[in-house]
Amino acid sequence: MIELDYRNCLAARIGSEGISEEKLESVKKQAFAELENIKKNPPGFMKLPVRFDEARKIREDAKKYRDFKNLVVLGIGGSALGNITLKNMLTHTYHNQGKNGGYPNLYVLDNVDPEWTSELSDIIDLKDTVFNVITKSGSTAETLSNFFFFLEKLKKERSDWKDHLVFTTGNKGFLREFADENGIKTYSVPEDVGGRYSVLSEVGLFPAAVTGLNIESLLEGAADAEENEHVPVTYAALQYYFYKKGKNISVFMPYSKKLESTADWFRQLWAESLGKNEKTGPTPVKAIGTTDQHSQVQLYMEGPKDKVFTFLSVKDSSPEVKLKYDGHFLGGKTMRGLFNAELEGTTGALTKEDRPNMNFEIPKIDAYNAGELLYQLEMACAITGGMLGIDPFNQPGVELGKKLAYEILEKNTGQLI
C-alpha cells in the first residue's frame, strides 16, 4: 500500500524547524479524533468507494461510446481536474496521438478561452465525437459556454445530435432541464459530493470507463485506503502542525511526469477546502521533479522558511532505460536511477537546510493505487479542515466571484449565459 515517509519532518533530523516524536503523537491523536468525528456523519465522498454496482453499470454503458474517436469533457474545476489527473496518470502519455489502445481520445476543456475551444473544434470531426458535459449545478457559465458552442455545430451537422451528448449533473438546473426535454443520456452527481471530491463519482468514472480504465480497481484502491488510514491522519497532523507553526505554503512535488496533474488536482482540493474566513489558508503550490529543480528549488533552499514539502514518488516504475555512452559518468547508468537520485538529492538538501519534507511512495502507477492516493488526500483534507475549525466542503468565495462575473456580463450584454 502507499507509504508516507515523514522522517524529514522530525526534529531529530531538522532541529527546531521540525516536530518531536512526542508532539507528533499528540497531534495525531487530535487528527484521529477528528477522523472519528467525521465518520459519525460521513461526507458524501466517503460513500463513493463502495459503489461497485454503479461502477459496473457505468462500465457497461461506456461500451456504447467506444466507437467514437473522441470523448470531449466540458467542465471546470472539480468537473475537469479529476478527469485530467486520471487520464495523465493511467493512460499512455501520447494517448491522443494514437497510443490509445483503440479507445477514444480524451480532451478536457476546462476553460472558457475562445481560442482554445475553437482550435479543438478545428481538429475533431463531430460525427466521431461524443461530449460529456459536467456541471453539478447545471448552470456553470464556463461549461455552458463551451456546450452552447458545440451544440450549435452539432445541430447544424448531425441529425442524431442527441446521441453525441452525455450529461453529468445534479437534480436541478439548466442542464437537467435540457436533458429532460430532449432525452439526453444523463448521470447524476451525488447531491452530497462537492466537485473537488467527485473524482470517484460518475464525474470521473464515466470518462475513465470510456477511455478503457479499470474503474472497479480504482474504487477498490479507495475502499482499501480505510485500512491504511494512519497515512491520511499522519499527513493531516503534519500539515496542521506546520501551518500553525507559520509554514503556510504547502508545496506538492511529484517526481513522475504521469503524476504531474495530481498536483493540479491537489491545489484545488487544498485551496478551495481550507482557505476560509480570512483566518485559515495554507497556500498550495505545484512543482514537478526534476523540472522545477531548475526553476523553483533555489527559492525552496534559501528563501523564507515558510513552506512544508510533499513529494510523490513511484517505487516500481517501468520501462527502464539504460544510458550507453562510454567515457561519461552517465554511461552505464539508468534514467530511473538518475530520476531517483535527483529526488534523494532534493529531499536531502532540503533536510540539511532544516526544511520539513515528506514523501508519498506509490508501489506503482495503476488504477488501484490511484484510487487509494486520491482518497487518502481527500481524507487528509477533510481531517485538516476539521482540525482548523472550518468547513472543508463549502466554497463561499468561489460563489461570490461567480455572482460578480454574472453581474458584469449582464451589465455588458443585457443577458446571462
Element housing 108 (H / E) = strand 105-109
Residue 328: HSE in the Cβ half-sphere, 13 Å Cα cutoff: 7
| φ and ψ at residue 307, rounded to 5 degrees | -130, 150
Integer Cα distance of 200 and 240 in angstroms: 25
Integer Cα distance of 58 and 278 in angstroms: 41
CB proximity list for 184: less than 8 A, separation 6 or greater:
162, 165, 166, 167, 178
64 is catalytic: no
Catalytically annotated residue among 47, 69, 305, 402:
402
Q: Which of residues 376 and 319 earns the better pLDDT score?
A: 376
Q: Which three cell numbers stand for residue 380?
A: 487528509
Q: What is the per-residue pLDDT across 117-155, written as a single tens digit (0 to 9) for each?
A: 999 999 999 999 999 999 999 999 999 999 999 999 999
Query: Domains along the chain?
Result: 3-39+220-397 (3.40.50.10490), 67-211 (3.40.50.10490)
Catalytically annotated residue among 156, 294, 328, 411:
294
Q: 346, 353 in Cβ contact below 8 A?
A: no
Integer Cα distance of 190 and 50 in angstroms: 14
Q: Which three cell numbers stand for residue 358?
A: 515528506
pLDDT at 412 over 80: no
245 is catalytic: no
Would you give the end-to-end CA distance of the chain in angstroms? 46
Query: What is the model's pTM?
Result: 0.94
Q: 222, 367 in Cβ contact below 8 A?
A: no
Q: Which three cell numbers stand for residue 396?
A: 463561499
Catalytically annotated residue among 260, 272, 372, 378:
272
Q: Residue range 18-42: average pLDDT? A: 97
pLDDT at 273 over 70: yes
Q: What is the per-residue pLDDT across 308-355, written as a single tens digit (0 to 9) for each?
A: 999 999 997 677 888 888 888 888 888 888 888 899 999 999 999 999
Integer Cα distance of 360 and 350 in angstroms: 16
Beta-bridge partners for 285: 251
Which of the four pLDDT bands, split at 50, 70 and 90, describes residue 197? very high
pLDDT of 402: 64
Q: 386, 38 in Cβ contact below 8 A?
A: yes
pLDDT of 79: 96
Beta-bridge partners for 314: 362
Mean pLDDT of the chain: 94
177 is catalytic: no
